[in-house]
Amino acid sequence: MPFLFSLPPYMSDILRIENIRKTFPGVIALDDVSFSVARGEIHTLLGENGAGKSTLMNVLTGLYHPDRGQIRIAGEPIHFTSPRDALAFGIGMVHQHFMLVPAHSVFENILLALDNVPNFYSRKTYKEKIQKLIDEFDLDLDLDTPVWKLSIGAQQWIELIKLLMRDCQLLILDEPTAVLTPQEAERLFSVLRHLKKQEKSIIFISHKMREVMEISDCVTILKKGRSIATLTCGDFDESKLASLMIGKDKILQWQKNLQMSDEIVLDIHDLSVRNDRGLSDLDGFNLRLKKGEILGIAGVAGNGQKALAEVLTGLKNTSQGRIMAGGKDITNSNARYSYIAGIAHIPEDRKSIGIAPDMSVDENLIMKSFKSRSFRNWIFQNKKAIRQNAAEKIEQFAIKTGPDGTPVRYLSGGNIQKVIIARELSEHPAVLVALYPTRGLDIGSAGYVHKVIADGADRGMSTILIAEDLDELLKLSDRIAVMFRGKLIGYVNPRKTTREEIGLMMSGEIPGDAA
């Protein structure tokens, strides 16, 4: 039994982190971080990307060993050497990417996570135990359903139950709402509040200000590897948090041109796309994009957004339907032709498909135009022109790079994104398909991306903006199209709609159906 239960009653801090420092060669990931989490507290960790949140969590769950500093649990100094150690002390984490076996049932997945299950276990006892937890939190979960049939929200519950079955007293949730609809997020919050009543402590990591305001008892702000402030509920509001988090860095201001022509630049008609498993990612999908418009696409992740972007940029073939761009049929052509036809693409997973990680910034910036005459002499690359192009782009987009020739992989997420954007926008595309362009970026970089998109719209560039943060979509879009299971559910006007309306549409309800 973890000794958390033998807590002396006067020790209310379940976890105390003191002066943690962790360096990697050439990088100080955590400089000096201290904070403590009390019993029954929801403690939010807020910070830009690169502020050290994930490193800190990795230290806390035993993946990294800090160079200096102390972790105390109930006052006792502790060294973790693996996540197993952390679990034994009742610290569990729900990762952004769930650790579930899709083909197995809910019950089997939970059982897998438990230690000390006897070889001949009583299925009934364990089921009853788990069922008790499910009932307690009023979760709608059938133990015998295979995991792949469940919604993302339900899969998250399984991860939570896994930790609760192990009697975890401190739960760490890494951006848990990123994959949820607003309704599912609401549900998660009520579960968290219930946990809080049971004296469990929660470390909640999030970017979304609104949620932070809604759920936190306490907020610790991380900046450049330091914990710069811990505020308790009532002491903070959104603007205070934002200013602490970014400090002196200004959020770029931009103004969107509301004038829009009615010219259709992209017309998608009855588009269907099958994935590798033969299921339909897009199923009779329709979309019309006007010139100079920012068209937001809302939908729970995995409802065909990725397929839409891949089809538009020629990475995937259609099985049915038609895409017209500027009067040209680009339905089935490879990425190069789509690019010539004027579609640029900011991919979802920048590291895995946006860049060649081992190559330099210079080389990455010409990835789409390396064949153009300005970058070559006959069959040889014109290294001088390539360098000059890079110098211009680095200056223009304020990319922070290392010394010349540094592989792109060593850049921060925000700077990698800038490299991609610089490359994609340098040819003045007519259409930009941006898939989660600000995911994982700090507020400063995200603001920059927004500005680039808005400025592009002023110049007549049309953008399909696929994002998961409704606030981002509402702020930036001229129109929002809602997707569900590969179909277009409908358009809404971001200036007139409500979050609830979009949320309902995201779960497949066609507006006006209920009436």
Partner 1 sequence: MKLVIERREISSPFLRFSAPIASIGVALFVAGFLLLASGVSPLAAYKEIIIESLGSLYGLSETLVKTTPLIFAGLGVSLAFRMQIWNIGAEGQIYMGAMGATWVALFSGLQNHWLMMVAMFFAAFLCGGLWAGVAGFLRARWQVNEVIVTLLMNYIAILWVDYLIYGPWKDPKGFNFPLTAQFSDTARFAEYFNTRMHSGFFLALFCALILYLFIEKTVWGYEIKVIGSNQKAAQYAGMNTGMAIFFVLFLSGAIAGIAGFSEVAGLQHRLQHGLSPGYGYTAIIIAWLAKRSAIGVVIVSFLLGVLLVGGDSLQLLWQLPVAFVYAFQGLILFFLLASDFFIIYRVKLIKGVARA
Q: Does 283 bind partner 1 (CB under 8 A)?
A: no
Q: Does 78 bind partner 1 (CB under 8 A)?
A: yes
Q: Does 89 bind partner 1 (CB under 8 A)?
A: yes
Distance CA 283, CA 295 (A): 20
Looking at the Cβ atoms of 2 and 413, the one nearer to partner 1 is 2
Q: Which of residues 43-62 bind partner 1 (CB under 8 A)?
A: 62
Angle at 416 between CA 96 and CA 250, to 5 degrees: 90
- The per-residue DSSP string of 233-271 comes to TTS--HHHHHHHHHTTPPPPP----------EEEEEEEE
Q: Which of 356, 391, 398, 510 binds partner 1 (CB under 8 A)?
A: 356
Q: Which of residues 397-456 bind partner 1 (CB under 8 A)?
A: 410
Q: Does 244 bind partner 1 (CB under 8 A)?
A: no
Cβ 167 to partner 1, closest distance in Å?
A: 13
Total binding residues toward partner 1, as defined by CB under 8 A: 44
Q: Does 339 bind partner 1 (CB under 8 A)?
A: yes
Q: Does 335 bind partner 1 (CB under 8 A)?
A: yes
CA-to-CA dists, residue 189 to 157, 443, 468, angstroms? 12, 24, 18
Beta carbons within 8 Å of 377's beta carbon, 6+ residues apart: none
Region near partner 1 per CB under 8 A, out of 23-31, 144-152, 461-469, 501-509 = 23-31
Question: For 33-167, where are the alpha helices, taking DSSP H only?
Answer: 53-60, 83-88, 106-112, 123-136, 152-165
Q: Does 306 bind partner 1 (CB under 8 A)?
A: no
End-to-end CA distance of the chain: 55
Q: Which residues pair with 28 in a beta bridge?
A: 23
Q: Are 186 and 23 in contact (CB under 8 A)?
A: no
Q: Does 276 bind partner 1 (CB under 8 A)?
A: no
Q: Does 355 bind partner 1 (CB under 8 A)?
A: yes
Looking at the Cβ atoms of 357 and 490, the one nearer to partner 1 is 357
Distance CA 184, CA 181 (A): 5
Cβ 38 to partner 1, closest distance in Å?
A: 22
Q: Which of 85, 167, 455, 501 binds partner 1 (CB under 8 A)?
A: 85
Q: Which helix (H) or strand (E) holds 76?
A: strand 76-78
Beta carbons within 8 Å of 77's beta carbon, 6+ residues apart: 70, 71
Q: Does 368 bind partner 1 (CB under 8 A)?
A: yes
Q: Does 116 bind partner 1 (CB under 8 A)?
A: no
Looking at the Cβ atoms of 347 and 447, the one nearer to partner 1 is 347
Q: Which helix (H) or strand (E) holds 345?
A: strand 343-346
Q: Are 343 and 325 in contact (CB under 8 A)?
A: yes
Q: Does 10 bind partner 1 (CB under 8 A)?
A: no
Distance CA 200, CA 91 (A): 11
Distance CA 474, CA 496 (A): 10
Region near partner 1 per CB under 8 A, out of 235-243, 330-338, 440-448, 507-515 = 330-338
Q: Which of 139, 367, 387, 508 binds partner 1 (CB under 8 A)?
A: 367
Cβ 457 to partner 1, closest distance in Å?
A: 23
- Tell the burial category of 352 from Cβ atoms under 10 Å away from its Cβ (0-12, 13-18, 19+): exposed
Q: Does 374 bind partner 1 (CB under 8 A)?
A: no
Say whether 423 sits in a helix, a strand or coil. helix
Distance CA 151, CA 44 (A): 26
Q: Does 120 bind partner 1 (CB under 8 A)?
A: no
Region near partner 1 per CB under 8 A, out of 53-61, 76-84, 264-272, 501-509 = 76-84
Strands 431-435 vs 462-466: parallel, antiparallel or unpaired: parallel
Region near partner 1 per CB under 8 A, out of 47-55, 80-88, 234-242, 466-474 = 80-88
Looking at the Cβ atoms of 122 and 352, the one nearer to partner 1 is 352
- Binding residues vs partner 1 (CB under 8 A): 2, 24-27, 62, 64-65, 78-81, 85, 88-89, 313-315, 334-339, 345, 347, 352-359, 363, 367-368, 370-371, 376, 379-381, 410
